[in-house]
Amino acid sequence: MGSHDDEDNLISPEDAKGPNAETVEQYLRLHDHIERLREDKTPQKPGKVTSEEARTYQAAALFRAATPGAAEPSPAFASSLRTRLEHEIGASSPARALRAARGGVSRRGLLAGGLGAAAAAAVGVAVGSTITHESAKPPGSWQTTLIGDGAGMWLAVATVGEIPLGGVKRFATDAVVGFVRHTSSGFEALSGACTHMGCLLSWNAGARTFDCPCHGGRFNENGKAAPGSPVAYSPLPLIKAKVEAGTVWVYIAKSPMEDATTTPSNNPNGYRNP
């Protein structure tokens, strides 16, 4: 109370005089700076500053870091940087660098990586290997089918009863990860790998979207790019699906590990291929 310290805090006309005079410009410049920080955006360069001014700006950064939640990396940033680092490591070996230059990703190399996103990407790439020609094309609104007639085999992935109308069920096999959907017109299946870089999507039942953990890609339940996706990535390829004997079957690439487990498909009941 009334101490010298307190007077020092009060705003008096004396502050505008003397060798250490503060100017209104300085107040406003720092204020603009703080507001930029509060928006989490890069502030304007303050220009040539004295070290005292630099320390003032530093103090602003330090205190901004104390705003609750501000100084935590966002999950999207964390996973996208991890993906970049995976590529960085991959590029250090010539063979992998070559693959990277061609736009492909080494499944084995990424599997060896063992990180979550990389592992996810790797399984996606197993899918990707069958759709390489499509991923090279620019994003479009058309939707391709993963495996054409005759090239694959039918595999049972769910019973009809376990997926209610509107429900979505994930399935994973040696060759493919995908989702089976129960729509008003029957059962459909979609590839579960993001068409951006092959990371594995997860079903977001609340928003009814397929979300990618790597770069925030989003697809609606029909597999088309959804609002909120950073880029309108190509639609998810369809996987042929059918219902037979109370079971949902999907048509996937033949696994190299088995031979003739293909199921006869002479009765494609409920099978739709839009």
Does 55 participate in binding another protein (rule CB under 8 A)? yes
* Among the listed residues 99, 104, 119, 270, the single contact to another protein using CB under 8 A: 119
Q: Which residue has the tokens 């409920």?
A: 270
C-beta closer to another protein: residue 131 or 177: 177
Closest CA to 174 of 81, 252, 270, 102: 252
Residue with tokens 């590029």: 91
Query: Does residue 71 belong to the site contacting another protein (CB under 8 A)?
Result: yes
Q: Name the minimum Å distance from CB 120 to another protein.
A: 8
Whole-number minimum distance, CB 138 to another protein, in Å? 27
d(CA 103, CA 18): 64
Closer CB to another protein, residue 225 or residue 239? Answer: 239
Nearest to another protein of 39, 206 (CB atom): 39
- DSSP string over 172-198: E-SS-EEEEEEETTEEEEEE-B-TTT-
Which range touches another protein (CB under 8 A), out of 88-96, 216-224, 225-233, 265-273? 88-96
Q: Scanning residues 241 to 260, which ones bind another protein (CB under 8 A)?
A: 247
Give me the phi and psi of 246, to 5 degrees please.
Answer: 70, 15
Q: Is 45 in the site for another protein (CB under 8 A)?
A: yes
**What is the footprint of another protein within residues 144-183 (CB under 8 A)?**
155-157, 171-174, 177
- The total number of residues shown for the chain amounts to 274
Interface mask toward another protein for 122-141; x: CB under 8 A: xx------------------
# binding residues, another protein (CB under 8 A): 80
**Nearer CB in complex with another protein: 33/218:** 33
Give, in order, the Cα–Cα distances in Å from 209 to each of 97, 148, 226, 268: 34, 26, 7, 28
Residue 154 sits at φ, ψ, to 5 deg, of: -90, 140
What CA–CA distance (Å, rounded) separates 220 from 193?
13
- Bin 238: left if φ > 0, else alpha if -120 < ψ < 50, else beta: beta
Decide whether 54 or 136 has the Cβ nearer to another protein. Answer: 54
For residues 187-226, which are near another protein according to CB under 8 A? 200
- Token pair, residue 227, equals 């609002």
User: Closest separation between CB of residue 200 and another protein, Å?
Assistant: 8
